[in-house]
Amino acid sequence: MTFAQTVLLGSIAGFTIFLGLPIGRVKGISEKTRSFLTMTSAGILLFLFYDIFHQLSEPIEAALIPLSPGKFSTLLAVFITGLGAGLLGLIAFERRLIKSHSATGQMLASTRLALMIATGIGLHNFSEGLAIGQSAASGQFAFATILIIGFGLHNATEGFGIVGPLAGGERPSWGFLGLAGLIGGGPTFLGTIVGYYFVSAFMSVLFLSLAAGALVYIIGELFSANWRQAVKVQAGWGLFAGFLIAYLTDLLLIAAGA
């Protein structure tokens, strides 16, 4: 598989995230339905957080057994630094880069949260791009193709994860959805390019831990806004549905051999 073919297919895997974004423009949704959809997004992100930690543990544990003190300590330091930077960095991102014009503006708050979700997903998708590029560069063409198909399916569900908090409110513009899609899906394309020429366990751990830290903050925000007594039943069903959707999609990826 040539570099151009790898990058093309990697970009397709990343930009399937746009398939789930248009639902953010649906209007006339009740508060209970909105909570269900938002917590469905939280469920998807909760599974993604679990999946990230599973991926993170592999290189760190591999350095621990048998013990490779230098590599293990470095990977652990990268993990701790990335996790803290991802969590605290999004707080800074919220406070400094996205200015609130209204203390109670629901649309602005939801838009801000959607962009933060896209940022967290984008960090994770960069690591997926690394896996695609590395597989293609090492001659594992069949495996790289499976990864592209599997990640493409998974990214389609992540698109809905981004716009879940926007459902039922004032419709976001197509330009905003395009920006969110680029932030969330574009890193898959970039990761494919980097991974084709450069293989590094440290880079993979860094971006996965950054994504994990970001998701801790994002999931907390989704819960604080929607885990209320008036809509707790709908929120609970949404959380269950989102986690189940993400898990079943991941099973399809495993069944395909990825």
- HSE of 123 in the Cβ direction (CA atoms, 13 Å)? 28
Predicted confidence band of residue 252 (pLDDT cuts 50, 70, 90): confident
Predicted confidence band of residue 150 (pLDDT cuts 50, 70, 90): low
Taking each helix axis as running N to C, give the angle between helix 174-197 and helix 3-15, from 0 to 180 degrees, rounded to the nearest 10: 150
Q: Which amino acid appears at position 177 of this protein?
A: L
Asked if residue 157 lies in contact with residue 44, where contact means CB atoms within 8 angstroms, the answer is yes
Q: What are phi and psi of 24, to 5 degrees?
A: -65, -15
Tokens 């609970």 locate to 236
DSSP 95: I
User: pLDDT at position 170, please?
Assistant: 65
* Domain of 240, in residue numbers: 3-255
Q: Which two tokens stand for residue 32?
A: 């209970």
Predicted confidence band of residue 183 (pLDDT cuts 50, 70, 90): very high
CA–CA distances in Å: residue 242 to residues 39, 169, 172, 233, 239: 7, 20, 22, 14, 5
Asked if residue 209 lies in contact with residue 86, where contact means CB atoms within 8 angstroms, the answer is yes
Nearest to 152, CA basis, from 196, 188, 190: 188
Tokens 């800074």 locate to 92
Taking each helix axis as running N to C, give the angle between helix 69-92 and helix 106-137, from 0 to 180 degrees, rounded to the nearest 10: 150
Residue range 93-118, pLDDT digits in tens? 666 655 544 444 444 467 877 888 88
Residue range 184-243, pLDDT digits in tens? 889 888 888 888 888 778 888 888 888 888 788 878 877 877 788 888 898 899 999 989
Nearest to 13, CA basis, from 159, 152, 193: 152
User: pLDDT at position 210, please?
Assistant: 83
Please name the residue ranges forming H helices in 65-173. Answer: 69-92, 106-137, 141-163
CA distance 124 to 213: 11
Contacts of 98 (CB under 8 A, 6+ apart): 112, 115
The most distant pair of C-alpha atoms in the chain lies apart, rounded to whole Å, by 58
CA–CA distances in Å: residue 227 to residues 113, 212, 236: 16, 21, 8
Chain-centre distance for alpha carbon 253: 16
- Give the count of domains, the chain: 1
- pTM for the predicted model, two decimal places: 0.70
